[in-house]
Amino acid sequence: MAKVALLGFGVVGSGVAEVLKENRETIARRVGEEVELKYILVRRDFPGSPFGPLMVRDFGEIETDRSVDVVVEAMGGVEAALDYTRRALTAGKSVVTANKELVATHGQELMELAFRHSCGYYYEASVGGGVPIIRPLRQCLTADRVTGVWGILNGTTNYILTRMIRGGLSFDAALAEAQEKGYAEADPTADIEGIDTCRKVCILASLAFGRHIFPHQVPTRGITGVTLTDVACARKAGCQIKLLGRTLEGEDGRVRAFVEPHLVREEDPLAGVEDVFNAITVRGNMVGEVLFYGRGAGKLPTASAVVGDVVEALSRRGGGKAPDWQKGGESATVGSDGVADRWYVRLAGGKAPEAFPGAQVLSRAEGMVVFLTGEALTAEELERRLAGETPLSAFRMLEG
Amino acid sequence: MAKVALLGFGVVGSGVAEVLKENRETIARRVGEEVELKYILVRRDFPGSPFGPLMVRDFGEIETDRSVDVVVEAMGGVEAALDYTRRALTAGKSVVTANKELVATHGQELMELAFRHSCGYYYEASVGGGVPIIRPLRQCLTADRVTGVWGILNGTTNYILTRMIRGGLSFDAALAEAQEKGYAEADPTADIEGIDTCRKVCILASLAFGRHIFPHQVPTRGITGVTLTDVACARKAGCQIKLLGRTLEGEDGRVRAFVEPHLVREEDPLAGVEDVFNAITVRGNMVGEVLFYGRGAGKLPTASAVVGDVVEALSRRGGGKAPDWQKGGESATVGSDGVADRWYVRLAGGKAPEAFPGAQVLSRAEGMVVFLTGEALTAEELERRLAGETPLSAFRMLEG
């Protein structure tokens, strides 16, 4: 009988308890033995919960119980989660997490620690919720050199953009609706400013290119600057506006990683990803582009990803899992330096965009001109051409 | 140094040689040692090929060379491929294949044989070309009970349907164009009659539900009956016509598996899958629906999937891989029995569809009536309601 301890009993934690119970037989068949949830670490009472008898308040109980094979960290935050994760790994217990902040900031260190103690640190649920993406990158696309990964990594912002595009709602109205439906938090900053997407693209970049990329190294712009005018003009160009996390390996061997709203052509499968769904495209030098799509959040999809990691951790018991990436450093990544794309530009003034030969004008009204540049430009080239003028909007266009 | 032998040097075989050469370093890092292509079994000369020195005519050379760890079967067909696969497995060499016909007809037997000889039989490339689907089902969605798998599994028919939908070409003109472009063979029967899709859905059904499902157990209808009228009427209903392979587990515990053209709602990501791309949706009882999308055929994408299996086979050397599914039997599957969907029906005569309460009439012209049934019906119920009348077209509608 394999034994699991769960830290935290919020949305993800209670989902994990439910999946372990509901799919007990399927999971036992895959692990080769029954999997028992032995402890749930909580900070408050859950009166009437059927899991009440498993609840404990002291992490030390879990840490010192040698029968516990795997610890699921579903607490969120960094401080306590980091402390408990280190202690669990040091005690030789594999740790499974959905905590993208912790993986993005301390993933490499925790994987090293796990390996030294013959266990593993698993994080499938930290990116894409229920969408399998970490294990496909680690185990499926093994014949390819990955050259890029990009996608819609945050369901809240995608819901807001979908309501702006399909429903004609303003950003503020769409945000209010997302909050009403429980898709956005009372303080939506981490979502709408791209911070959540930034953490996820750090994890994808680290895994794809083998060196730890930290959030402070990734230039991040959210969707608060996207207007209904932009949505309408993008559609004229046959595009949808989507918040993308993107990472690429440059010819200099350094990683590019950044978060920005992009224009995505309607023929691109990412353009059709609506509401709270997530989708991630991986480009390999042999396979071309493959895409993974599904529910990027939610109790049971996220719990499904967590428990998938529990199954893997139990199947590898006794063998340490080597770190998926090496240490990073300030030189590992250079933001979006040198990444040239065509740009969508909205300028006050209505003057023709003379500095942009081949530009496609999308609208010229209300004292504004909106156009697509004819050439692919880096952000620096764009700025130079704009010659001191600050655009109302400037978004990269994702080329197929 | 790990050693690989390749059987066949056609499109897939030459792609495998290219991937092993081009990504040598990446692959060596993942396997933990260099991977050498030692033999290529061919039936004719390839004058001037840089791989000439590796070419042999006698399978016995490969069979008896104890240094060969993995054999890649890229011959196609059943007779010789089956013989060589059995001999390689019996000699303890893992076999990797892209041969869907062989996996669909003899997969279980070959996996048993591999397990007895402490090696494995791998087949990621047999479904979806470069799209990872076999390994995600085996290794990623392990916390879920899979309840259904369906998708666009054949690039040729999807190309033809796309050209009918987007280009207004007739079926015959679209087929001729596909043949010109090399997407369809001179004898296109296996593609357009759904036989290729049938083999792939057998593999997906066997893997998802654990019992071997054979092609003769899967009712199969291709796209030769799809007309431009159907395409236009489907669009009026907000749908695209797609050839789907579908498999579901019924409440009686028996598997449903069938191949038919379906109406797919435009909101469904499958509707946006165009040209020769493939996409497969997996439904789990916890994760909901996840979708895998990419190039379903082509030299390098398929070779990428094959070499991914080579990496896995080499990583597991010495340990047998247990069969992914058990023996089948006539009672394992019951076609589409009991599967109720709404239907698209095109009838000669133009009479109102009285036997279908709640029907949505899409067109009533040229002595025909075209409608969607209001209720979900099984194929038998549909036939009973039609009371002897043979519809010009009758397609299931995939509900989200």
Per residue in A319-342, is it b (16+ CB within 10 Å) or e — as a string? ebbebbbeebeeebbbbbeebbbb
A303·B135 Cβ contact <8 A: no
Q: B394 pairs with which residues across the strands? A: B345
Return the residue of B nearest to A135 by Cα. Answer: B140
What integer pLDDT is reported at residue A400 of this predicted model? 62
Residue type, B150: W
B289 neighbourhood in chain A, CB within 8 Å: 294-295
Partner residue facing A293 (CB), from B140, B290, B305: B290
What is the longest distance spanned by two Cα atoms in chain A? 73
Residue B114 token pair: 């591999």
Partner residue facing B143 (CB), from A23, A142, A287: A23
What integer pLDDT is reported at residue B352 of this predicted model? 66
Task: Give the integer Cα–Cα distance in Å for B198 and B176.
Answer: 23
**Cα–Cα distance list, A238 to A215, A231, A269, B61 (Å):** 32, 11, 13, 58
A305 neighbourhood in chain B, CB within 8 Å: 143, 287
ipTM of the complex: 0.95
Taking only the tens place, the pLDDT of each residue in B360-390 is 999 998 889 999 999 999 999 999 999 989 9
Taking only the tens place, the pLDDT of each residue in A261-314 is 999 999 899 999 999 999 999 999 999 999 999 998 889 999 999 999 999 999
When pLDDT is cut at 50, 70 and 90, the band that residue B80 belongs to is: very high
pLDDT > 90: what percent of chain B?
91
A136·B135 Cβ contact <8 A: yes
Per residue in A345-382, is it b (16+ CB within 10 Å) or e — as a string? bbbeeeeebeebeebeebbeeeebbbbbbeeebebeeb
B304 neighbourhood in chain A, CB within 8 Å: 141, 143-144, 284, 286-287
What integer pLDDT is reported at residue A351 of this predicted model? 72
pLDDT > 90: what percent of chain A?
91
B316 neighbourhood in chain A, CB within 8 Å: none
Residue type, A200: K
Closest among B157, B240, B272, B129 to A293, alpha carbons compared: B272
A303 neighbourhood in chain B, CB within 8 Å: 143, 286
B286·A304 Cβ contact <8 A: yes
A140·B135 Cβ contact <8 A: yes
List active site positions of A. 200
B200 included as an active-site residue: yes
Return the residue of A nearest to B24 by Cα. Answer: A143
What values do phi and psi take at B346, rounded to 5? -120, 120
CA distance A296 to chain B (A): 10
What integer pLDDT is reported at residue A352 of this predicted model? 67
B301 neighbourhood in chain A, CB within 8 Å: 286-288
Asked if B304 contacts B361 with a C-beta cutoff of 8 angstroms, the reply is: no
Radius of gyration of chain B, Cα coordinates, nearest whole angstrom: 23
Taking only the tens place, the pLDDT of each residue in A205-256 is 999 999 999 999 999 999 999 999 999 999 999 999 999 999 999 888 899 9
> Which of B93, B200, B242, B321 is the catalytic position?
B200
Return the residue of B nearest to A266 by Cα. Answer: B272
A/B interface, count of CB pairs below 8 Å: 163
Taking only the tens place, the pLDDT of each residue in B302-344 is 999 999 999 999 998 888 899 999 999 988 889 999 999 999 9
Q: How buried is residue B41: exposed, middle or buried, by Cβ count under 10 Å (0-12/13-18/19+)?
A: buried
The pTM for the full model equals: 0.96
Closest among A206, A199, A208, A203 to A326, alpha carbons compared: A206
pLDDT < 50 regions, chain A: none
Interface test with B, best of A20, A25, A138, A144 (most B CBs within 10 A): A144
Residue labelled with tokens 């559609």: A235
What integer pLDDT is reported at residue A253 of this predicted model? 87
Task: Give the integer Cα–Cα distance in Å for A305 and A100.
Answer: 13
* Average pLDDT value for residue range B91-101: 97
Taking only the tens place, the pLDDT of each residue in B139-192 is 999 999 999 999 999 999 999 999 999 999 999 999 999 999 999 999 999 999
A300·B293 Cβ contact <8 A: no
